[in-house]
Amino acid sequence: MPDDATVMYLRLLVVGPHCHSLGGAAPLIQLRAGSAVMADVPAAPGQVDIPGENADGKPAGAASYTRGKTDDVFTVKIDVLDEGVPLWQVRITNTESQELGFVWTTAEDPGDAAQPRMSMPHDLEMSVAHKVPANIIQTVANIGPGPLVFTDPAGTELGGGFTLEKVPERVEPNQCGTIEISVDSTISDLTFDTTESTTCVLGCNDRDRRNTTLNLSCKVFVPSGKGFEKPETDGDIHKNGPQSPAEYLRPGDTLRADTLSGVGERAFIDELTALGDSVSRRVHFIRPELRPDMYGGALVHEDPDGAAESGDDET
């Protein structure tokens, strides 16, 4: 919590299944000021006083949340009444029977907290027949608590013979869109068994370039019937697309922390926290190891009124 903050906003996205909001039971959102007890945050117009550490019994703050009607984005408003509390903690508990992912941000301004997070495979590969241009089609998801807005229009040249043919203007939280990238004749006319590749950054309002950087590659083959290998594609669409990103689950699927991209994968721990200068110092994503939903019942053995063993985060 910034020393001079008088109000803070926390925006929480409950990552739903298959590019849709689950719309189920609200998670339990709790706040703690310093070493005081946790307080359950209610839905507005209700409000809870956050207990303080002072002997006078004055609260350290007051909080409530609102829920988006269609996107499962929860916005928590925290009125800070005691600026002398240096450490605040938040705890999010999944109350649904199915496992869910959570991504959240904090900021002093509600607009700053409405940050998107673009999620899609970073390595896009395809094969094309010799002298037959083709397209890469891939699903892109927004798993951040703010809208994802693309600034690169259709027709943008990405380099190396790749062109952005189709792109959604806007993808709301918990939604998906489709991008289409063409491979022109400068690649498809290359000799047999040649691979062309390039790296590009899609223009959008996701401030973390690692989320928006794509590694594109295309292999040229001679069609079957001429004594050469068969293509890895069905038509002109790569075998890995289009599809839902790993973050989006179908009902009944199991959420695995070791297979997700951007939510639970340990390889992304640094990515989620080390946004550095690319974002406001008061906007951040929570580390996966501090999310109870990612780490198998981390709250089961906690004392709700005492120090948390895991699953909490500082704000």
Question: Tens-digit pLDDT profile for the chain (315 aa)?
Answer: 666 778 999 999 998 888 888 889 999 999 999 889 999 999 999 999 999 887 778 899 999 999 998 889 999 999 998 877 878 899 999 999 888 889 999 999 998 999 999 999 989 988 777 777 778 899 999 999 999 999 999 999 999 889 999 999 999 999 999 999 988 876 666 666 778 888 999 999 998 898 999 999 888 876 655 444 444 443 333 333 344 444 443 444 433 333 333 333 333 334 433 433 333 333 444 444 444 444 333 333 344 444 444 345 555
Residues 34 and 130 in one domain: no
DSSP secondary structure letter of residue 238: -
Does the residue 240 lie in any domain? no
Residues 85 and 131 in one domain: no
Domain that holds residue 193: 119-221
Q: How far apart are CA 245 and CA 290, in angstroms?
A: 23
Residues 27 and 44 in one domain: yes
Tell me the one-letter amino acid at 266: R
Residues 137 and 109 in one domain: no
Q: Which residue has the tokens 């080390």?
A: 274
Does the residue 209 lie in any domain? yes
Residues 100 and 131 in one domain: no
Q: Are 272 and 285 in contact (CB under 8 A)?
A: yes
Would you state the pLDDT for residue 87? 84
> Which of 206, 221, 236 corresponds to the end of one domain?
221
Q: Which residue has the tokens 């939604």?
A: 175
Prediction pTM value? 0.69
Of 219, 221, 286, the C-alpha closest to 15 is 286
Would you state the pLDDT for residue 118? 93
Residues 147 and 103 in one domain: no
> Which of 173, 190, 221 corresponds to the end of one domain?
221
Residues 127 and 142 in one domain: yes
Q: Is 272 helix (H, G, I), strand (E, B) or coil?
A: helix
Would you state the pLDDT for residue 164? 95
Would you state the pLDDT for residue 138? 92
Does the residue 289 lie in any domain? yes
Residues 123 and 209 in one domain: yes
Residues 104 and 153 in one domain: no
Residues 135 and 157 in one domain: yes
Does the residue 135 lie in any domain? yes
Residues 162 and 97 in one domain: no
Would you state the pLDDT for residue 5? 75
The CATH number of the domain holding residue 166 is 2.60.40.10
In the chain the beta strands, taken as DSSP E runs, fall at: 7-15, 28-33, 39-40, 48-50, 61-67, 73-80, 88-93, 101-107, 118-119, 123-129, 134-142, 148-149, 156-159, 162-166, 170-171, 175-183, 194-201, 213-221, 312-314
Does the residue 246 lie in any domain? no
Would you state the pLDDT for residue 188? 61
For 111, the enclosing helix (H) or strand (E) is helix 110-113
Q: How far apart are CA 18 and CA 174, in angstroms?
A: 9
Residues 41 and 101 in one domain: yes
Q: Are 171 and 138 in contact (CB under 8 A)?
A: no
Number of domains in the chain: 2
Does the residue 36 lie in any domain? yes
Does the residue 249 lie in any domain? no
> Which of 221, 238, 257 corresponds to the end of one domain?
221
Does the residue 210 lie in any domain? yes
